[in-house]
Structure 1
Amino acid sequence: MIENSRLLPAKINLALHPIRSEDVSLQSFYLHLLHAAIQGLGERGRVARDILAAYQEAWNIPLENRKPTLNLDQIVGMLQKREHWREFWKFHERGYKYLLLFEMMFIYLDEFEFIHNCDFIQEFQRRLAIGPVSLHQLRHTLRLLLQGRIGEAEKHAPNVGDFRFFFDTFRNEEQFACLPEKKIAVVATMSSGKSTVLNALLGRKVFPSANQACTSKIVRWTHRPGLSRLTAYARNTGVDIRWQLTLDEMRQWNSDPSIPSVYIEGGDGPLSSFRSRKVVFIDTPGTNNSRDDRHGRITQDFLHGEDYDAVMYILDATNLATEDDQTLLHQTLEAAKGKQMVFLLNKVDALDMEAGETITGMLEMAVSYLRENGVPNPFVIPVSAYAALLFKLALGGQEFSRKETRDLDRLYALYQDESYDMNRYVRMGHPQETWDGDSVAEDNGVPYPRERLQLALYRTGLSLLPKIF
Structure 2
Amino acid sequence: MNEMVEQSRTFWLCKAKIQQLFKRIYTNDHSVKFTELDTILSVFEHDRNFLSKSIHTAVFTANMSAGKSTLVNALVGKKVNKSQSMACTAKLHYILNKPLEDGFSAEDDNVLNLDADYNTLMTDDVGNDSQSIIVSTYFRFLSGLNNPICFLDTPGVNSSLDHTHKAITDTEIGKNEFDVLVYVINADGGIATEDEDTYLTQLSETAGKANILFVVNKIDCFRADEDNIADSISKIADDVSRRGFVNPKIYPVSAYAGYLAKRMLFDNDLNEGEMDDYNLFRRNFMSEDYNLVGFYPKDAIDVCLRLIEREEDVRKKKAIQMLLNCGILPLEIILKNSIGGM
Range into which the TM-score falls when normalised by the shorter chain? 0.7 to 0.9
When the two chains are superposed, the root-mean-square deviation of aligned CA atoms in Å is: 3.3
Q: Which amino acid counterpart does residue 114 of structure 2 have in structure 1?
A: R
Query: Secondary structure of the equivalent of 1:452?
Result: helix
In the alignment, what sits opposite 2:26?
150
Shift of 1:163: 7.2
CA distance in 1, matches of 2:234, 2:246: 13
Structure 2: which 5+ residue stretches go unaligned?
Answer: 1-10
**Larger relative contact order (Cα-Cα within 8 Å, sequence gap ≥ 6):** 2
Cα 1:314–1:268 change in 2 (3 A) is: closer
Query: Secondary structure of the equivalent of 1:434?
Result: helix
In the alignment, what sits opposite 2:285?
415
- Residue pair 2:109, 2:124 contacting (<8 A) in 1 also: no
Cα 1:375–1:423 change in 2 (3 A) is: same
- Residue pair 2:95, 2:136 contacting (<8 A) in 1 also: yes
Task: Find out whether 1:455 has 2:328 as its counterpart.
Answer: no
**Which sits farther off after the overlay, 400-409 or 387-396?**
400-409
CA distance in 2, matches of 1:254, 1:286: 19
Shift of 1:311: 0.3
CA distance in 2, matches of 1:165, 1:394: 29
CA distance in 1, matches of 2:153, 2:272: 29
In the alignment, what sits opposite 1:115?
none
Query: Secondary structure of the equivalent of 1:150?
Result: helix
Task: Find out whether 1:248 has 2:119 as its counterpart.
Answer: yes
CA distance in 2, matches of 1:403, 1:161: 49
- Residue pair 2:63, 2:158 contacting (<8 A) in 1 also: yes
Shift of 1:193: 0.6
CA distance in 1, matches of 2:125, 2:235: 34
CA distance in 1, matches of 2:43, 2:144: 22
CA distance in 1, matches of 2:188, 2:281: 17
Shift of 1:367: 0.8
> Given the two structures, how large is their TM-score scaled by the length of structure 2?
0.78
Task: Find out whether 1:290 has 2:160 as its counterpart.
Answer: yes
Pick the aligned partner of 2:51 from 147, 167, 177: 177
1:208-230 deviation per Cα after TM superposition (whole angstroms, max 9, x unaligned): 11336535311122223323534
CA distance in 1, matches of 2:298, 2:42: 41
- Residue pair 1:213, 1:286 contacting (<8 A) in 2 also: no
- Residue pair 2:296, 2:330 contacting (<8 A) in 1 also: no
Structure 1: which 5+ residue stretches go unaligned?
Answer: 1-132, 155-159, 442-449
CA distance in 2, matches of 1:440, 1:275: 24
Query: Secondary structure of the equivalent of 1:208?
Result: coil
Q: Which amino acid counterpart does residue 348 of structure 1 have in structure 2?
A: I
Q: Which amino acid counterpart does residue 226 of structure 1 have in structure 2?
A: L
In the alignment, what sits opposite 1:68?
none
Pick the aligned partner of 1:377 from 204, 224, 247: 247
Identity between Structure 1 and Structure 2 (%): 24
In the alignment, what sits opposite 1:218?
92
Q: Which amino acid counterpart does residue 456 of structure 1 have in structure 2?
A: M
After TM superposition, list the pairs within 5 Å mapping 1:286-435 onto structure 2.
Answer: 286-305=156-175, 307-321=177-191, 322-355=193-226, 357-429=227-299, 430-431=301-302, 432-435=305-308
Cα 1:161–1:458 change in 2 (3 A) is: closer
Task: Find out whether 1:231 has 2:86 as its counterpart.
Answer: no
- Residue pair 1:416, 1:452 contacting (<8 A) in 2 also: no
Shift of 1:421: 2.6
CA distance in 2, matches of 1:254, 1:290: 23
CA distance in 2, matches of 1:371, 1:150: 53
1:344-393 deviation per Cα after TM superposition (whole angstroms, max 9, x unaligned): 011111112212x1110110121122122221321100111111111121
Pick the aligned partner of 2:65 from 181, 191, 194: 191
Shift of 1:411: 0.6
> Given the two structures, how large is their TM-score scaled by the length of structure 1?
0.59
1:246-294 deviation per Cα after TM superposition (whole angstroms, max 9, x unaligned): 332122226665242122233245x645443433211111111111111
- Residue pair 1:189, 1:286 contacting (<8 A) in 2 also: yes
Cα 1:225–1:174 change in 2 (3 A) is: closer
1:382-440 deviation per Cα after TM superposition (whole angstroms, max 9, x unaligned): 11111111112122243333332221121111122244331202355421232454533
Query: Secondary structure of the equivalent of 1:353?
Result: coil
After TM superposition, list the pairs within 5 Å mapping 1:110-129 onto structure 2.
Answer: none
1:157-184 deviation per Cα after TM superposition (whole angstroms, max 9, x unaligned): xxx9977777666544431123354311
CA distance in 1, matches of 2:278, 2:205: 39
- Residue pair 1:204, 1:389 contacting (<8 A) in 2 also: yes
In the alignment, what sits opposite 1:209?
83
Task: Find out whether 1:280 has 2:116 as its counterpart.
Answer: no
Cα 1:232–1:283 change in 2 (3 A) is: same
Paired residue total: 311
1:449-468 deviation per Cα after TM superposition (whole angstroms, max 9, x unaligned): x4333212111112223234
- Residue pair 1:313, 1:344 contacting (<8 A) in 2 also: yes
CA distance in 2, matches of 1:174, 1:451: 33
Cα 1:221–1:312 change in 2 (3 A) is: same
CA distance in 1, matches of 2:39, 2:127: 36
CA distance in 2, matches of 1:417, 1:218: 38
In the alignment, what sits opposite 2:6?
none
